[in-house]
Amino acid sequence: MTATDTFFQPNTAINTQPNIAALYIVATPIGNMSDISARAINTLNKVDIIACEDTRTSGKLLSNFGINTQTWAYHEHNSEIQTPKIIEMIQRGHSIALISDAGTPLISDPGYQLVQAAHKAGIKVVPIVGASAAIAALSVAGLPSDKFSFVGFLPAKTHGRIKQLEQYANRTETLIFYEAPHRIIASLNDMAAVFGDTRPATLCRELTKTFETVKKATLSELAEFVAADNNQQKGEIVLVVGGDVNNKTDDDSAHDKLLLRLLEDLSVKKAAALASDLTGVKKNALYQRLLELQDK
């Protein structure tokens, strides 16, 4: 914990028109500094405290825009201690912003515990929208974007990674993964093994930065591409993978009447299995459709 974590000093020099007491979730650039919004700069200037994943990393961003607001470290290792302190500060009438090292907070970054605590305490939570690597990658991937699932980081070890990939093998929506550069080759090879060599995917690396890469190909082709170029094994990486087209029906609702009838007497799992036998549609696709029907 740094000295600024311990003592609160109101930002009176800049806070001439302070925001209302609230928790502000502020998106920051994922690379190109020009991507920060005017509203984000204004908010970071006016709040009393900025909670940062890493005060040194965020310090460079804040310095670039001449923002002198006091910072507190807030990360997964101190969240249990800092969360109640931040909630107490807001309850006393202060405004606090949460930022991550880059992009939108809580997307594979710390912050869930704090936002949850704010809602529980009846504190207003305000989104200050902006860059997100996952959505940026989806927008340029050239893959269906009407339905997608954000998976985030896969397990570091091979066994755990393959086990999780198998859970998504028959999903029909586009999948978005984050991956560390030192695991990118292993992950691509595992994806090709589980999803199939020819599954379409897009490698998005260092988005908005100088050496940005957006490469669309099959999983096996991407594995070869990355293995042949050490530069592709560096930086921030997002993988966007197409869904299993063989699992899609011409009309998701084509078998709804049958599924709903079976569900009256059977569990979701058994209904999906029997419907698969009767229709020839893959069981996993029917299982997912049953879950959707239950939510309606």
**Single residue among 131, 165, 188 that ends a domain in this structure:** 131
At residue 10, the pLDDT reads: 46
Query: β-pairing, 23-26 with 148-153?
Result: unpaired
At residue 249, the pLDDT reads: 53
Do 189 and 273 reside in the same domain of the chain?
Answer: no
Do 16 and 43 reside in the same domain of the chain?
Answer: yes
SS3 at position 51: strand
- pLDDT tens string, the chain, 296 residues long: the values are 443 444 444 444 434 344 689 999 999 999 999 999 999 999 999 999 999 999 999 999 999 999 999 999 999 999 999 999 999 999 999 999 999 999 999 998 889 999 999 999 999 999 999 999 999 999 999 999 999 999 999 999 999 999 999 999 989 999 999 999 999 999 999 999 999 999 999 999 999 999 999 999 999 999 999 999 999 999 999 999 999 987 665 455 668 888 888 888 899 999 889 988 888 788 888 888 888 888 76
**CA distances for 173 relative to 1, 125, 190, 197, 240, angstroms:** 42, 30, 19, 18, 11
Enclosing domain of residue 236: 134-245
Do 48 and 101 reside in the same domain of the chain?
Answer: yes
Instruction: Tell me the C-alpha distance between 128 and 24, whole Å.
Output: 7
Cβ(36)–Cβ(28) under 8 Å?
A: yes
Do 119 and 24 reside in the same domain of the chain?
Answer: yes
Do 188 and 280 reside in the same domain of the chain?
Answer: no
At residue 248, the pLDDT reads: 61
At residue 245, the pLDDT reads: 82
Do 74 and 116 reside in the same domain of the chain?
Answer: yes
Please report, to the nearest 10 degrees, the dihedral formed by the alpha carbons of residues 157, 159, 161, 165 taken in order. Answer: 180
Do 154 and 170 reside in the same domain of the chain?
Answer: yes
Tokens matching residue 233: 């094994």
**Single residue among 104, 131, 158 that ends a domain in this structure:** 131
Cβ(115)–Cβ(23) under 8 Å?
A: yes
- Total number of domains constituting the chain: 3
At residue 112, the pLDDT reads: 95
Do 141 and 104 reside in the same domain of the chain?
Answer: no
Do 167 and 219 reside in the same domain of the chain?
Answer: yes
At residue 250, the pLDDT reads: 47
* CB proximity list for 250: less than 8 A, separation 6 or greater: none
Do 77 and 186 reside in the same domain of the chain?
Answer: no
CATH number at residue 143: 3.30.950.10
How many of the other CB atoms lie within 10 Å of CB of 230? 9
**Single residue among 78, 106, 131 that ends a domain in this structure:** 131
At residue 208, the pLDDT reads: 98
If you count DSSP H runs as helices and E runs as strands, how many of each does the chain have, helices first? 12, 10
CATH number at residue 61: 3.40.1010.10
Do 119 and 206 reside in the same domain of the chain?
Answer: no
Do 154 and 227 reside in the same domain of the chain?
Answer: yes
Instruction: Tell me the C-alpha distance between 19 and 94, whole Å.
Output: 8
Start-to-end Cα distance in the chain? 47
Q: Which of 290, 264, 291, 293 is nearest to 276 (CA)?
A: 290
Sheet strands (E) in the chain? 23-26, 49-52, 70-73, 96-99, 125-128, 148-153, 174-179, 200-205, 213-218, 237-241
